[in-house]
């Protein structure tokens, strides 16, 4: 049995990741704002446990990690999927919007990694997967500066995890994709047309792939762009 924690798995990309990992035999601990969202995985029986996890609440991380260990006795992977997008640039957005981006996209993953790392080290092949973005790789005009900043920070955090856990078999990957066809980007000006977006199931397959690799095949970044750009 291999156990993965997945944040934000109630819908969209997180749900697609959970479905893919269940199909590949994983046991899942889901961090959800509303644990009732786990009903969609009822067919998985005792291979799924749901915990309340609110990314903006610093006190929510420890009970989820502790509950996972109490329920399953081990932890093999942490997938930091929960994230938000707020439009913040030098003309739009508030300090509160910027704080929210930092709280959800940066501080919540940091907290979870800090708590999970000792258990991932014990697994011998522990994995951390952070759902980043192509916006973690560059700044593109018209994209939220605040969002881009947060995803750059998440990419840096991914590299730090690799160094922190390398000798104990922990590997970390930032999934850096272009636009994913979920509700998070619907209605945003200048967003990638729906027909050109990545399907959540495609990104879920990327997550499953990097989790399947041995320690000798470390993938720091998995980049899948939906646009033609010279460097990514």
Residue 61 exposed, middle or buried by CB count within 10 Å (0-12, 13-18, 19+): buried
* Residue of 206, 215, 141, 142 whose CA lies nearest to 172: 215
**Is 139 annotated in the active site?**
no
Q: What is the DSSP string of 60-116?
A: GHHHHHHHHHHHHS---EEEE--------SSSS--HHHHHHHHIIIIIHHHHHHHHH
Reduced to 3 states (helix: H, G, I; strand: E, B; else coil), residue 5 is strand
Distance between CA atoms of residues 11 and 184, nearest Å:
11
Q: Which of 147, 152, 165, 178 is catalytic?
A: 147
Give residue 199's Cα distance to chain centre.
Answer: 16
Enumerate the active-site residues: 147
């Amino acid at each position: 049995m291999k156990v993965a924690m997945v944040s934000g798995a109630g819908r969209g990309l997180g749900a697609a990741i959970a479905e893919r990992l269940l199909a590949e035999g994983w046991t899942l601990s889901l961090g959800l704002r509303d644990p009732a969202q786990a009903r969609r995985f009822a067919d998985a029986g005792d291979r799924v446990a749901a915990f309340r996890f609110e990314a903006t609440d610093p006190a929510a991380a420890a009970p989820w990690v502790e509950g996972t260990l109490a329920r399953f006795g081990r932890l093999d992977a942490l997938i930091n999927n929960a994230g938000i997008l707020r439009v913040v640039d030098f003309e739009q957005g508030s300090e509160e919007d910027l704080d929210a981006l930092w709280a959800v996209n940066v501080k919540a993953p940091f907290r979870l990694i800090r708590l999970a790392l000792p258990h991932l080290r014990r697994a011998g092949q522990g994995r951390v997967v952070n759902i980043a973005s192509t916006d973690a790789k560059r700044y593109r005009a018209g994209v939220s500066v605040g969002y881009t900043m947060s995803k750059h920070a998440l990419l840096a955090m991914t590299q730090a995890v690799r160094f922190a856990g390398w000798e104990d078999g922990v590997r970390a990957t930032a999934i850096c994709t272009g636009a994913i066809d979920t509700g998070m980007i619907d209605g945003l000006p200048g967003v990638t047309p729906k027909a050109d977006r990545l399907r959540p199931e495609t990104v879920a397959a990327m997550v499953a792939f990097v989790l399947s690799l041995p320690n000798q095949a470390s993938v720091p970044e998995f980049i899948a762009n939906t646009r033609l750009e010279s460097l990514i």
